[in-house]
Amino acid sequence: MKNKRLLAAILAVCCTASALTACSNSSTSSTATDSSASEASSAEASSEATSEASSEAASGLMSNEEIIKKAASEGMVGNWGLGNEYEIQALLSKYGQPTDYVTMDFTMDQIDKDSITLASAMTYNELGLIKNSYDGGYSYGDEIGIIDMNDEGVAMLEDMLFCTKAFAEANPNTVKAFTSASMKGWVYACEHPDEAEEIVFKYGSSVSADHQKYMAGEVAKLVTTDTKGNSVPAANVGQMDDEAIQQTLDLAKKYIKIDDATAAAKLQELTLDDIRSKDYLTYDGGAVEKSDVKIQLKWLPQSQFMGYYVALDKGYYTEAGLNVEIVSGGGDVSETVAVNNGTVDFGVTWVSNLINANAGGMDLLEVAQVYQRSGLVLCYKKSMFTAQ
Amino acid sequence: MILKKSKSLLNILSTVGLPVLFGALIYILWQTKVLHALFGTDEIILPLPDRIGSIISDNFTNMLPQIASTLIVALGGLVLGSLLGYFIGVAGAVFKKWGMGGLTIVSAFNAIPLVALAPVINNWTRDLSNQVDIRSTVAKIITVTIFCTASMSVNAYRGLTEVKPFSEDLFASYGSGKLKMFLKLRLPNSLPYVFTALRVSVPACVIGAVVSEYFAEQVVGVGRQIRENIVKGQFPTAWAYIAIACAMGILMYVILLIVESIVLKNRRAR
| Cα B171 from chain centroid (whole Å) | 36
Number of domains in chain A: 2
Of all helices (H) and strands (E), which one includes residue B116? helix B114-124
DSSP letter assigned to residue A354: H
Q: Is B87 on the interface with A (CB under 8 A)?
A: yes
Predicted confidence at residue A7, as pLDDT, reads 41
Please indicate, yes or no, whether residues A190 and A104 belong to a single structural domain of this protein.
Answer: no
- Under a CB-based contact definition with an 8 Å cutoff, are residues A146 and A322 in contact? no
| pLDDT for A277 | 96
Q: Is residue A2 part of a domain?
A: no
For residue A39, pLDDT over 80 is answered with no
User: What's the gap between Cα A23 and its chain centre?
Assistant: 37
Looking at the fold, whether A86 and A167 belong to one and the same domain comes out as no
The rounded distance, in Å, linking the Cα atoms of B47 and B216 is: 28
pLDDT value of position B225? 94
Of B44, B145, B230, the CB nearest to A361: B44
More confident residue, B225 or A4: B225
Among the partner residues A26, A102, A359, nearest to B134 by beta-carbon distance: A26
pLDDT digits (tens, 9 = 90+) for A314-370: 999 999 999 999 999 877 678 999 999 899 999 999 999 999 999 999 999 999 999
User: In terms of domains, do A251 and A269 share one?
Assistant: yes
Report chain A residues whose CB lies below 8 A from the CB of B95.
2, 6
pLDDT at residue A161 tops 60: yes
Nearest-CA residue of chain B relative to A77? B132
Per the structure, the complete domain to which residue A73 belongs is given by: 53-155+376-385
E strand residue ranges, B19-168: none
Residue A41 has pLDDT above 50, yes or no: no
Q: How confident is the model at residue A48 (pLDDT cuts 50, 70, 90)?
A: very low
Question: Residue A74 and residue B130: Cβ atoms within 8 Å?
Answer: yes
Contacts of B153 in chain A (CB under 8 A): none
Does residue A30 fall inside a structural domain? no
- At B128, the pLDDT band (50, 70, 90 cuts) reads confident
Question: Nearest residue of B to residue A336 by CA position?
Answer: B233
Using pLDDT thresholds of 50, 70 and 90, give the confidence band for residue A387.
confident
* Residue A150 and residue A270 in one domain: no
Which residues, 6+ apart, have CB-to-CB distance to B14 below 8 Å? none
Contact check, Cβ <8 Å, A25/B235 = no
pLDDT given for residue B5 in this prediction? 67
Asked whether residue A20 is assigned to any structural domain, the reply reads: no
A337 within some domain: yes
- Identify the sign of the CA torsion A164, A168, A173, A177: positive
Residues 92-111 of A with CB under 8 A from B: 100-103, 105, 109-110
pLDDT digits (tens, 9 = 90+) for B65-111: 999 999 999 999 999 999 999 999 998 888 878 877 888 888 888 78
- The closest alpha carbon to A150, from A371, A374, A370, belongs to A374
Residue type, B144: V
Half-sphere CA count of A271, side-chain side, radius 13 A: 1
Residues of B in contact with A109 (CB under 8 A): 123, 126
pLDDT (mean) for A35-56: 40
| A250 and A356 assigned to the same domain | yes
Among A75, A259, A360, whose Cβ lies nearest the Cβ of B59?
A: A259
| CB contact B197 to A (< 8 Å) | no
Alpha helices, DSSP H, located in chain A: 2-26, 50-59, 64-73, 86-94, 109-112, 126-131, 165-170, 172-191, 193-202, 209-224, 242-255, 261-269, 272-275, 306-313, 316-319, 335-340, 351-359
β-sheet bridge partners, residue A347:
A162, A296
Measured between its terminal Cα atoms, the distance across chain B in Å is 21
pLDDT digits (tens, 9 = 90+) for B10-19: 888 888 888 8
- Residue A11 falls inside a structural domain: no
Mean pLDDT of A100-122: 93
> Is residue A27 predicted with pLDDT exceeding 90?
no
Same domain, A318 and A381: no
Query: With 50 as the cut, is the pLDDT of residue B27 above it?
Result: yes
Give the pLDDT band (50/70/90) at residue B175.
confident
Residue A15: predicted pLDDT? 39
B80 at interface of A, judged by CB pairs closer than 8 A: yes
pLDDT band at B184 (very low <50, low <70, confident <90, very high): confident
pTM: 0.83
Which chain A residue has its CA at the smallest distance from B121's CA? A18
pLDDT, tens only, A367-380: 999 999 999 999 99
Residue B219 neighbours by CB under 8 Å, 6+ apart? A81, A100, A101, A103, B228
Identify whether A351 is part of a domain: yes
Q: How far is CA A188 from the centre of its chain?
A: 22
Contact, A165 vs A364, CB < 8 A?
A: yes
User: B135, B203 in Cβ contact below 8 A?
Assistant: no
CA distance B224 to B218: 9
Indicate the range of A17-26, A92-101, A318-327, B140-149 predicted with least confidence.
A17-26
Same domain, A315 and A197: yes
Read off the pLDDT band of A79 (50, 70, 90): very high
- Any domain includes A9: no
Write out residues 19-38 of A within 8 Å (CB-CB) of B. 21-22, 25-26, 29, 32
Nearest to A154 by CA among A73, A275, A250, A71: A250
Q: Nearest CB to B88: which of A10, A110, A360?
A: A10
Q: For residue A162, count other CB atoms closer than 10 A to its CB.
A: 28
- The reply to whether A135 and A172 lie within a common domain is no
Q: Over range A16-34, report the average pLDDT.
A: 35
Interchain pair A115, B130: CB under 8 A: yes
- Tell me the C-alpha distance between B252 and B206, whole Å: 9
Do residue A148 and residue A177 come from a single domain?
A: no
Let me know if residue A21 belongs to a domain: no
pLDDT digits (tens, 9 = 90+) for A354-370: 999 999 999 999 999 99
Clarify whether residues A174 and A292 are in a common domain: yes
Interface ipTM above 0.85: no
Domains and CATH numbers, chain B: 64-269 (1.10.3720.10)
In terms of domains, do A182 and A230 share one? yes
- The domain that holds A113 is classified in CATH as 3.40.190
Same domain, A127 and A261: no
Backbone angles phi, psi at A189, to 5 degrees: -60, -40
Contact of A363 with chain B, judged by CB distance below 8 Å, is answered with: no
Q: Which of B:19-58 have CB within 8 Å of A? A: 41-45, 51, 54-55, 58
Q: How many CA atoms lie within 13 A of B212 on its CB side?
A: 32
CA distance, residue A48 to nearest chain B CA (Å): 31
Strand partners for A276: A366
Q: How far is CA A136 from CA A117, A129, A132, in A?
A: 20, 7, 9
Burial (CB < 10 A; 0-12, 13-18, 19+), residue A278, is: middle
Q: Exposed, middle or buried by CB within 10 Å (0-12, 13-18, 19+), for A262?
A: middle
- The answer to whether B136 and B217 are in contact (CB under 8 A) is yes
Burial class (CB in 10 A: 0-12, 13-18, 19+), B244: buried
Region of residue A15 (phi > 0: left; psi between -120 and 50: alpha; otherwise: beta): alpha
User: For B221-243, what is each residue's pLDDT tens digit?
Assistant: 999 999 999 888 899 999 999 99
